[in-house]
Amino acid sequence: MFANSESNAGNPVADVHEGLLGDTDLMFTDRMPFNEVDVVFFCFGHGKSEAFLKEHEIPAGVKIIDLAQDFRIRGNHDYVYGLPEIHKDAIQACSHLANPGCFATCIQLGLLPLAQAGLLTDDIAVNAITGSTGAGQKPGATTHFSWRNDNMSVYKLFTHQHLHEICQTLNELRPQSAPAVCDTLNALPAEGEITVDFIPYRGDFARGIFCTEVIRLRGAEGSASNPTQETLVQLFKDFYRDAAFTHYSDAAPDLKQVVGTNKALVHVEKFNGNKVVVTSMIDNLLKGAVGQAVQNMNLMFGLEEKAGLNLKAIAF
């Protein structure tokens, strides 16, 4: 095992990740002994993973899990998009994996059952609020405590980079008879296409993502295109019945139920006959990042999916 860092080479890992004090004596190194390990996690900033691979050779037998966005969109590469709730078989068979983004994970988990059922037929309105850790470890003007405390703001309105992977997945799951979901970062929607109108918020807390998604259904209530509340609940429960970490909550959940865990909680409610509100939430640092990366590693190596991830929320 090694933890590579040019800037922290020679320093204890616990000096940077202080929560590991007493748990490890591992030191950062500037060496990269890829031939001594089974898997490598890339924790670079976005855009750096692809550049790194062009400059370094990693043995073919070493698996790669990339936490950046470089390989999340299908293209001229063999990386599998690592959303275990729908890609478990592909993850188990792959050597190279692109770990989903934090907002993307939370939003997709709220929409996947509806997408597969062909119920996404109108523009989708998404509001999601993230903690300050979503901006990374490097301090910035909008992560400073005195600015963040008792404050909220929006950013990247309708232009967040995670829209690419969200739309890709929704289009993958939708029936051919359902409208395509347009990735408006690349093009304006064509006639008949629907959009995901995503407004991200900066919250005045450290960890977690709390998301609400509003979907308008078409057709008479109780029809196949506009199911009853009971049918929608069963749809979600059936979809996530075998998921290791994503659970349907009968009561409206709160963020503290997932903070500190690899869980995702989802809840659905229907209003005014044709409007559906889905609430979904995750810990952005765990299910939205390294927790999901470990979950994917477990699947890639044939380990128990929950190994090392049976963590309890700090609700009190």
Q: What is the token pair recorded at 25? A: 């004596």
Query: How far is Cα 30 from Cα 10, in angstroms, rounded to an integer?
Result: 8
pLDDT at site 36 = 93
Distance of CA 245 to the CA centre of its chain: 13
**Number of C-alpha atoms within 13 angstroms, CB side, residue 280?**
28
Low-confidence ranges of the chain (pLDDT < 50): none
Query: How far is Cα 232 from Cα 230, in angstroms, rounded to an integer?
Result: 5
Backbone angles phi, psi at 295, to 5 degrees: -55, -45
141-191: pLDDT as tens digits: 887 788 888 999 999 999 999 999 999 999 999 999 999 999 888 888 999
pLDDT at site 144 = 79
- What residues contact residue 158 under an 8 Å CB cut-off, 6+ apart? 184, 197, 198, 199
* CATH fold of 3-100+290-300: Rossmann fold (3.40.50)
pLDDT at site 47 = 87
81-105: pLDDT as tens digits: 999 999 999 999 999 999 999 999 9
pLDDT at site 141 = 80
Q: Which CATH number fits domain 102-285: 3.40.50.20, 3.40.50.150, 3.40.50.1100, 3.30.360.10?
A: 3.30.360.10
Pairing, β 63-66 against β 96-98: parallel
**Number of C-alpha atoms within 13 angstroms, CB side, residue 80?**
22
Q: What is the token pair recorded at 213? A: 């998604």
Domains in the chain: boundaries: 3-100+290-300, 102-285
Catalytic residues: 102
- What residues contact residue 62 under an 8 Å CB cut-off, 6+ apart? 34, 35, 37, 38, 39, 40
DSSP-derived secondary structure letter, 242: T
Length of the chain: 316
Spell 276-287 as b/e; 16+ CB within 10 A means b. bbbbbbbbbbbb
Query: How far is Cα 191 from Cα 119, in angstroms, rounded to an integer?
Result: 18
SS3 27: strand
Q: What is the token pair recorded at 45? A: 């900033």
pLDDT at site 288 = 98
pLDDT at site 142 = 83
Q: What is the token pair recorded at 240? A: 């996530």
